[in-house]
Structure 1
Amino acid sequence: MTAPIAAIILAAGKGTRMKSDTHKVLHPIAGRPMLLHLIHSVAALEPARTIVVVGAGREQVEAAVHPLGVETVEQVEQLGTAHAVLEAKPALDGFEGDVLVLFGDVPRVGAGTLARMLERLHAEDAPATVALGFRPADPGAYGRVIADSEGRIDRIVEFKDASPEERAVTLCNSGLFAARAADLFDLLAKVGNDNAAGEYYLPDIVTVAASAGRHSAVIEVPAAEVAGINSRGELAAVEAEWQRDRRARAMAEGATLIAPETVWFAYDTRLGRDVLIEPNVFFGPGVEIADRVTVHAFSHIEGATIASGAVVGPYARLRPGTVLGEDAKVGNFVETKKAVLGKGAKANHLTYLGDAEVGAGANIGAGTITCNYDGFFKYRTNIGAGAFIGSNSALVAPVTIGRDATVAAGSVITRDVEPGALALSRARQEAKPGWGTRFREVMKARKAAK
């Protein structure tokens, strides 16, 4: 029988190096707060409990995680990572299972890695703790994990305390651990703070376990998976790594990215097969794209659903609530918001469609806008199938344009148009022969006299 799982995520630090009013762990990667990336990975294991240890800025963190059913406990005094984990002990009173100890600013740890940690914890040699190790290109000042070829840890040494031989070891400590609940809190209770900072360090549980005759184990992961984020620069580096991985996956799954390094995905972007994405396209959260869609360069898409065969851009902006039907087209410098375009509908250029429904096969001329806001409320515009909206038209909502109706170019439409009708609303054109010539002569003379 598999033991129940609890996760303790440490997020009590102030994150001063971010120089931000936003809590460090709420800064986004691919459009989602980094902490929520980690919680998503944990959720894949179906944990019985997930607890975030909060401190400075706790209100922000609580507002982000409580709607997900995640609990929080407060670390009032910042006395070190071991102390932070102990703050979760009362919340886990009576819990008998495995505990993962994670960091909210180390967001890319995957569910597969977490499962490996728990699997190693229950191996035949029954380690007291399992640490997550990595081998960075530059080990620098990371703590070193001294372990044998089987991954049994002899000791974890802080860089400042390491000998030259120990510093030559490339296996470093990420600070992430797994342990049985009973073992974890027993070990933590015995961790001291006899160090330069006077803090209680989580990795010391390895030393405490060893003093009791029990060993710990380490499993390794790529350095990118345990990259910590403490500054804007590190945030950008993790974002770049995430984007590289996502682009590679998109192409492996059948999408064509002409200039992959210029395309930016959100955490939940979904792409079909044979999708063509040109350079400099940005996807915000909530985008779903079906097969055989073309997204031309410099388009910005968020919260939109795009059906097969549709074409977007270049220079299009699709905002949340946009739905494009099969073979629909939204062209250059077109913006949509809460707009549904039916099969084959077209808005090829220079148009704003907000709070609108456009029927199948309708054609929206250049410069058309739906006037959906009166300064207080939003209203809808309905355009029937096969309708033709002439260029530079303003449709003042709420208004309905009937099926197969035509709106003449330059019209301001304030009343419903019946199906098949022509709606024309513009000033009558007049011509005054010779007026332009006389005007220029007068103005030239006036200018010469100055």
Structure 2
Amino acid sequence: MRSLTKDTPKPLLAYEGKSLIEHKLLALPRTVTKVVIVVGYLGDSISSRFGSSYKGIPIEYVEQKELLGTAHALWQAKGLLDDRFLVLMGDDVYGARDLDALAQYDCALLSYKGDPKRSGGKFILNEDGSLRAIVEDKDGSIDSPLVYTGACVVTPALFDYPLAQIPGRKEFGLPQTIVQMADKRRIHIVEAEFWKQITSPEDLA
């Protein structure tokens, strides 16, 4: 992606005529009353593009100065989140109906059923279908079709837990942090109908 992101932050890349961020803004549930965007590389380009609101929804910006993972990014916005909130990844595209379904819960993660041998964060579920664990499957050896999409809804109770480091790395992972809540509350799993992960220029075609 480097050839495309030299002068443009990845969330501003175009997919089907709109930037990746705009796809997310258009898919937000009607219950969303505020948007907080965590920016990093070329963050001024994002704030200049969208300003202080989008279709009447206020937007605030916070900066992640060090790339220390998705949980660390969320923690930068901690002071602005005082109610249940939705978390979306900046370089993925989600479906509006899936986000509406996710927003019905206080604590839930959005999954996508794909190739069981696909690498990525795999869900391990309890018998009642709630989350028991998330395992990072680097080589596709874990036979589970449910992959984490990066989207979730949680409450500020998450901030009572410590940031969880991704095994073998210096970054702090959001799924690894959220799963700590599973011993005290039910974490629902919502299966997505649509999810577009942007990892290469071909994904934007």
TM band (smaller chain): 0.7 to 0.9
Q: 1:152 aligns with which of 126, 130, 138?
A: 130
Partners of 2:33 and 2:5 lie apart in 1 by 35
Closer/same/farther in 2, CA of residues 170 and 87 from structure 1, 3 Å limit: same
Q: 1:38 aligns with which of 24, 38, 41?
A: 24
Between the two proteins, what is the percent identity of the paired residues? Answer: 27
Higher relative contact order (CA 8 A, sep 6+): 2
2:119 aligns to what SS in structure 1? Answer: coil
Closer/same/farther in 2, CA of residues 204 and 17 from structure 1, 3 Å limit: farther
- Could you say which residue in structure 1 is the equivalent of 2:60? 71
Does structure 1 residue 59 correspond to structure 2 residue 44? yes
The structure with the largest alpha-carbon Rg is: 1
Matches within 5 A, 1:354-393: none
Q: 2:110 aligns with which of 109, 132, 142?
A: 132
Aligned residues: 201
Partners of 1:168 and 1:45 lie apart in 2 by 36
Partners of 1:49 and 1:174 lie apart in 2 by 22
Q: 1:205 aligns with which of 177, 180, 199?
A: 177
- Could you say which residue in structure 2 is the equivalent of 1:232? 201
- Structure 1 stretches lacking a partner, 5+ long: 1-14, 122-128, 237-450
- Runs of 4+ in structure 1 displaced over 6 angstroms? none
Partners of 1:100 and 1:218 lie apart in 2 by 14
Partners of 1:81 and 1:161 lie apart in 2 by 21
Partners of 1:51 and 1:218 lie apart in 2 by 24
Matches within 5 A, 1:111-122: 111-121=96-106
Deviation of the 1:185 alpha carbon = 1.9
- Could you say which residue in structure 1 is the equivalent of 2:143? 168
- Could you say which residue in structure 2 is the equivalent of 1:141? 119
Q: Which amino acid aligns with 1:83?
A: H
Partners of 1:220 and 1:99 lie apart in 2 by 19
2:160 aligns to what SS in structure 1? Answer: helix
Residues 83-115 of structure 1, C-alpha deviations (whole Å, 9 max, x = no match) = 0000001223xx2x21101012112x2332222
Does structure 1 residue 193 correspond to structure 2 residue 178? no
Contact 2:40–2:65 at 8 Å: present in 1 too?
Answer: yes
Deviation of the 1:139 alpha carbon = 4.2
Q: Which amino acid aligns with 1:57?
A: L
- Could you say which residue in structure 2 is the equivalent of 1:435? none
Residues 205-251 of structure 1, C-alpha deviations (whole Å, 9 max, x = no match) = 3431134x3331211013xx222113211111xxxxxxxxxxxxxxx
Q: Which amino acid aligns with 1:71?
A: E
- Could you say which residue in structure 1 is the equivalent of 2:185? 214
Deviation of the 1:149 alpha carbon = 5.7
TM-score by length of 1: 0.42
Contact 2:112–2:147 at 8 Å: present in 1 too?
Answer: yes
Deviation of the 1:161 alpha carbon = 9.2
Contact 1:45–1:111 at 8 Å: present in 2 too?
Answer: no
Superposition RMSD in Å? 2.2
1:100 aligns to what SS in structure 2? Answer: strand
Contact 2:20–2:90 at 8 Å: present in 1 too?
Answer: yes
Residues 245-281 of structure 1, C-alpha deviations (whole Å, 9 max, x = no match) = xxxxxxxxxxxxxxxxxxxxxxxxxxxxxxxxxxxxx
Contact 2:126–2:132 at 8 Å: present in 1 too?
Answer: yes
Partners of 1:41 and 1:22 lie apart in 2 by 22
Q: Which amino acid aligns with 1:215?
A: R
